[in-house]
Amino acid sequence: MIPVVDGHNDLLLRLWLGEEPRHIHLEQAVDCGFAGGFFAVYVPSPRVPEPRQVPYAVPLAAPLDQREAARIAAELAASLVGLQEEGRLRVVRAADELVDGRVGAILHLEGADPLSPDLSDLDAWYERGLRSIGLVWSRPNAFAEGVPFRFPHSPDTGPGLTSAGLELVRACNRLGILVDCSHLNRAGFLDVAGLSDAPLVATHSNAWALCPSTRNLQDDQLDAIAASGGAVGVNFAVGFLRADGHNDPETALGEIVRHADYLAERMGIDHVALGSDFEGATMPTDLGGIAALPTLLDAFRAAGWAEPALRKLCHENWLRVLGQTWR
């Protein structure tokens, strides 16, 4: 069985909210080939209704109070340590700690909202195990502005990084923290691309040419990621897969393959990975969670993906990018 390193999940938030997991049951992980991946520390905004009609234009969420965001983020990070103490996973700080028969968890901030704008707490977060930061979720903060959820619409929705955001990218490069461009608008992405000396990454985004959502990446963005040696994790959320933008769970697994095929043709197979968005989005009915990962890989095989390409997709590309980014 090919192990899967996943670019994004929201299990910590679901557990923090006291809800039962829908997609990731850690006791099943090894048998399903789920090797772990990026475990998001995401401080939620007030809920907004998921768009059911197309076209849609959901406004940006309101900014968070930094001190309150820091408090909640610390609780979420502590819950990840708790899972480690229970022996259910381990927090990894080196790429070679993944794909070893245990679930490895990369501590990831989905949105830098909990960080002090002067970055005085970044080193402490690094010592805690932080190895990946998404500059924004889909709301503004001290560092950047995220994309609002709109369809159809380009990701060109607002200004680029603030001066604090530029300093955060430099600091991440210095420490060896991965900078994630998912949820970032086009101007912010271009700022990161022009500044960062690490591979460019979007942990859970898709091809805008196939699904023109603000959350997806346009061709020149894909080209920049490939040129940097980076990777895009294909997002399984149905609203970011379908050409019609509908949030319909009765979506074929072939839509995931369709985006991976496009990315591989545009960028090269070395730059395509998986970024499920498990626990944080509507999945195709046939992909109820990690238990169906073998079924998904069979769909790739049926579409002509050979085993060497599948290994790159499932874990080798993430391991390479992490190895080139982390200190």
**Contact predicate 189/221, CB 8 Å:** yes
- State if pTM tops 0.95: yes
Per the structure, how many domains does the chain have? 1
Collapsing DSSP to helix, strand or coil, 230 comes out as coil
**Dihedral pair phi/psi, residue 94, rounded to 5°:** -145, 145
How confident is the model at residue 52, as a pLDDT?
73
Q: What is the CATH number of the domain that holds 245?
A: 3.20.20.140
Nearest 5°: CA angle at 73, between 38 and 232?
Answer: 25
Q: Which of 194, 226, 187, 221 is nearest to 207 (CA)?
A: 221
DSSP state of 304: T
Q: Which of 134, 131, 106 is nearest to 42 (CA)?
A: 134
Distance CA 39, CA 35 (A): 12
Tokens of 221: 């963005």
Q: Which of 321, 316, 313 is nearest to 297 (CA)?
A: 313
pLDDT in tens, the chain (327 residues): 899 999 999 999 999 999 999 999 999 999 999 999 999 999 998 776 677 789 999 988 999 999 999 999 999 999 999 999 999 999 999 998 998 889 999 999 999 999 999 999 999 999 999 999 999 999 999 999 999 999 999 999 999 999 999 999 999 999 999 999 999 999 999 999 999 999 999 999 999 999 999 999 999 999 999 999 999 999 999 999 999 999 999 999 999 999 999 999 999 999 999 999 999 999 999 998 999 999 999 999 999 999 999 999 999 999 999 999 998
Strands 149-151 and 56-58, how do they pair?
A: antiparallel
**Contact predicate 43/115, CB 8 Å:** no
58 to each of 49, 118, 150, 268, 303, how far by Cα in Å?
Answer: 9, 31, 6, 33, 35
How confident is the model at residue 48, as a pLDDT?
67
Distance CA 168, CA 246 (A): 35
Residue 274 forms beta bridges with which residues? 234
The number of CA neighbours under 13 Å toward the Cβ of 139 is: 18
Domain extent, residue 287, equals: 4-325
